[in-house]
Structure 1
Amino acid sequence: MTNKTIREIADAWKVEKRPYVKQSTFATYMLILENHILPSFGESCELSEKHVQAFVLEKLDAGLSAKSIKDILIVLKMVMKFGVKNEWMNYYEWDIKYPTVQSNKEIEVLTVQNHKKILDFIHDNFTFRNLGIYVCLSTGLRIGEICALKWSDIDVNTGTVTVQRTIERIYVIEGETKHTELVINTPKTQNSFREIPMSKELLSIVKPLKKVVNDDFYVLTNENEPTEPRTYRNYYKKLMEQLKMPQLKFHGLRHSFATRCIESNCDYKTVSVILGHSNISTTLNLYVHPNMEQKKKCINKMLKSLGK
């Protein structure tokens, strides 16, 4: 066996991996290597559990979430397996411990009143950029999906919006050169390809527009060129300030849509499919938090079925 450093193994792994993953995924791998893995392990020839566990605790102390750290370890494990396959290093099993999290941070959503207020304002103050926010609050689309939405994705005959692409700015590292690039991609996962029915109100807004717009144009710009998420996020922020809304991240519009669905007693599987989640547990963990009243109802219902 010829021992190589993690840096040398990572260089060879990058060349092998590049043709098989999406450009945006590859860019994410490069950032993780550059910012986290190589500074800590670049000159090492082994990845023992003790060293990886120390790395995890250090990153948690630096303010990284457990989810982000797990993503880093996925890349580290891929590099290690590649090194083992080529007989450049030994394989190590890790059983990494994460300190228990005290409480789940509650997601921020609009109140029903503010949700309605934004929809009403956009209905009375139409612009193509405003329409994107209306679509988000009525369908739960992600910001990248909204920015990549074309008029051809809106079918007024079936009354549906089809999600089939997303747009993002990625950080590209090529040797010593680094730059960012705007890329239009297929959605996040297979489940993110989806058809969503439009509400009557949304359909009444887009129906007359569909007669005059160019199907190849992007909805937000009504032009051949899209707007990018960062620009649209800034526009949204200014609009919310204008409407004197509480500060809420753009992703909060998607959370607000999902929360309204759950509050309306929509079944969880349907909500999960509309949101394009890869599995229903994501939806349950994010949005389903029964309160004491719901728990009591549930137990009473169960006892009633027993004739009690």
Structure 2
Amino acid sequence: MSKNGNGDGSIYKDKKGRWRGQVNLPSADGKVRRKYFYGQTRKEVADKVAELMSQIKSNTYVEPCKVTLYEWLCEWLEIYCKPELRMTTYVNYELYIHKHIKDSIGRYRLSELTTAKFQQYYNEKAKNGRLDGKGGMNPKSLRNMHNMLHKALDQAVNMDMMLKNPTTYAVLPKYPKKEMRFFTVEEQKQLQEAIKGDRLEMPILIALYTGVRQGELLGLKWKYVHLDLKGESYIRIVETINRVKNTDPSIPTKTVLVVNRPKTTHSMRTIPLLPNIARRLAEYKAEQERIRKEKGFPYNDYVFTATNGMVLDPRDFQRDYKLLLKRNGIREINVHGLRHTFATRALESGMSPKTLSKILGHSSVGFTLDTYAHVTDELKAEEMAGMNEFL
């Protein structure tokens, strides 16, 4: 859409006695097009004419776009995003566009969108944004949706479909900080005792002593594991496995397992293994290979597999983990809580926040400190108490 042209404006009264303003619009094809303004006073119309002529003369005029936000998001997702996005992100974007945006703010034309409209939309989603009608949209999901909208409308601005991005100055509502759930030292000991000899023993131990995310844990392959029982052992986080909504009509299931690269470069990392964990992992590998040969399973390079030798499904892992906790009378904390437990123990043991941040794959030390403020606050109090000896 052209932004070029000088524009001529005129103001007069029409046959009905109304003040009317007229501006000739810039045109790439040479055809004359005009925009009209109406108002109760000459000044009201003159201000509108002056604003438009100023935009035309400064090359900032953008012809009002008739495409709706929903239509643009669908086009943007398929043409500009799909080739680059991880499947999990693509599926999430589809959900935001078709389930959250389509029948609400998605009905507005791009030319009608304002910061105020987005602010109102975000405020409403924070209060009543869940698809099941049971309260506000998850804070992380709302932020991810906002980031998606911002990217899509930046693209629209770059393509001269809009003058500016209306999401830039919209403010996401503040949520009460969610309580972080992790195992206490005693609960962790109880859990480690309960998993001895269980099929989930090794994946739970790896999660507890490396802090990997569930998708990283289940996506771990032996080729990314280095075991040196006389030296340094480590794992490399290179792939993830997640179950996502199926978007392929040729596949008859609602969800599919997807292998991806980690979301960010920070997430692709090397994590050292404690000697005892490395030894147990080596024993686990030998036992896994023995069972594979005994049962005739085809070779599978995944470290953690199901009873049939295939990749361990996240859905099955979560179910069996939950049942294990219940069976042993251990407080229910989700799989991600194993990661929080690792981080909490690491800080309690004196690991520096910078080192922990790298191990966890966080984008910054600041994010790590903010996430685990409950631990650092306790440690600060304990260390300050040590100053008493100087009084």
TM range (shorter): 0.7 to 0.9
Give the conservation status (yes or no) of the 8 Å contact 2:190–2:330: no
Give the conservation status (yes or no) of the 8 Å contact 1:152–1:216: no
- Once the two structures are aligned, what percentage of the paired residues are identical? 28
Query: Partner residue of 1:217?
Result: 301
Q: How does 1:99-178 map to 2 (within 5 A)?
A: 99-101=173-175, 103-122=176-195, 124-127=196-199, 129-157=200-228, 158-173=232-247
* Residues 237-286 of structure 1 deviation map (CA, whole Å, 9 limit, x = unaligned): 01111111001111111100110001111101111111111211221111
Query: Partner residue of 1:294?
Result: 380
Give the conservation status (yes or no) of the 8 Å contact 1:169–1:180: yes
Gaps of 5+ in 2: 1-62, 129-135, 290-298
Query: Partner residue of 1:203?
Result: 278
* Residues 149-189 of structure 1 deviation map (CA, whole Å, 9 limit, x = unaligned): 122322211311221110011224479x9942211111121
Tell me how far apart the structure 2 counterparts of residues 211 and 125 of structure 1 sit (CA, whole Å): 15
How far has the Cα of 1:293 moved from its partner?
7.5
Tell me how far apart the structure 2 counterparts of residues 292 and 274 of structure 1 sit (CA, whole Å): 22
**Larger deviation: 268-277 or 217-226?**
217-226
Query: Partner residue of 1:84?
Result: 157
Tell me how far apart the structure 2 counterparts of residues 292 and 109 of structure 1 sit (CA, whole Å): 15
Give the conservation status (yes or no) of the 8 Å contact 2:70–2:107: yes
Query: Partner residue of 1:266?
Result: 351
**Larger deviation: 66-75 or 230-239?**
66-75
Question: 1:217 corresponds to which letter in structure 2?
Answer: D
Query: Partner residue of 1:43?
Result: 107
TM-score if structure 2 supplies the norm length? 0.69
Query: Partner residue of 2:96?
Result: 32
Give the conservation status (yes or no) of the 8 Å contact 1:217–1:225: no
Tell me how far apart the structure 1 counterparts of residues 287 and 335 of structure 2 sit (CA, whole Å): 29
Question: 1:112 corresponds to which letter in structure 2?
Answer: V
How far has the Cα of 1:68 moved from its partner?
2.4
Q: For residues 205 and 297 of structure 1, do their structure 2 counterparts lie closer, same or farther at Cα, with a shift above 3 Å needed? A: closer
Which structure shows the bigger proportion of residues in helix conformation?
1
Query: Partner residue of 2:318?
Result: 233
How far has the Cα of 1:28 moved from its partner?
1.8
* Residues 117-139 of structure 1 deviation map (CA, whole Å, 9 limit, x = unaligned): 222333x3143x32111111111
2:76 pairs with 1:13: yes
Q: Which runs of 4+ in 1 moved over 6 A?
A: none
Compare CA radii of gyration and give the structure with the larger one: 2
Question: 2:71 corresponds to which letter in structure 1?
Answer: E
Give the conservation status (yes or no) of the 8 Å contact 1:110–1:252: yes
Question: 1:207 corresponds to which letter in structure 2?
Answer: A
Tell me how far apart the structure 2 counterparts of residues 51 and 39 of structure 1 sit (CA, whole Å): 14
Question: 1:247 corresponds to which letter in structure 2?
Answer: E
**Larger deviation: 107-116 or 190-199?**
190-199
Q: For residues 274 and 47 of structure 1, do their structure 2 counterparts lie closer, same or farther at Cα, with a shift above 3 Å needed? A: same
Which residue of the other structure, out of 336, 356, 368, is the alignment partner of 1:251? 336
TM-score if structure 1 supplies the norm length? 0.86
Tell me how far apart the structure 2 counterparts of residues 241 and 212 of structure 1 sit (CA, whole Å): 27
**Larger deviation: 13-22 or 54-63?**
13-22
Q: CA RMSD in A?
A: 2.8
Q: Give SS of 2:107's match.
A: coil
Higher RCO, 1 vs 2 (CA within 8 Å, ≥6 residues apart): 1
**Larger deviation: 227-236 or 10-19?**
10-19
Query: Partner residue of 2:11?
Result: none
Q: For residues 79 and 207 of structure 1, do their structure 2 counterparts lie closer, same or farther at Cα, with a shift above 3 Å needed? A: closer
Q: Give SS of 2:83's match.
A: helix
Gaps of 5+ in 1: none
Tell me how far apart the structure 2 counterparts of residues 174 and 8 of structure 1 sit (CA, whole Å): 21
Question: 1:125 corresponds to which letter in structure 2?
Answer: G
Give the conservation status (yes or no) of the 8 Å contact 2:122–2:173: no
Give the conservation status (yes or no) of the 8 Å contact 1:31–1:171: no
Query: Partner residue of 1:58?
Result: 124
Tell me how far apart the structure 1 counterparts of residues 76 and 85 of structure 2 sit (CA, whole Å): 12
**Larger deviation: 92-101 or 77-86?**
92-101
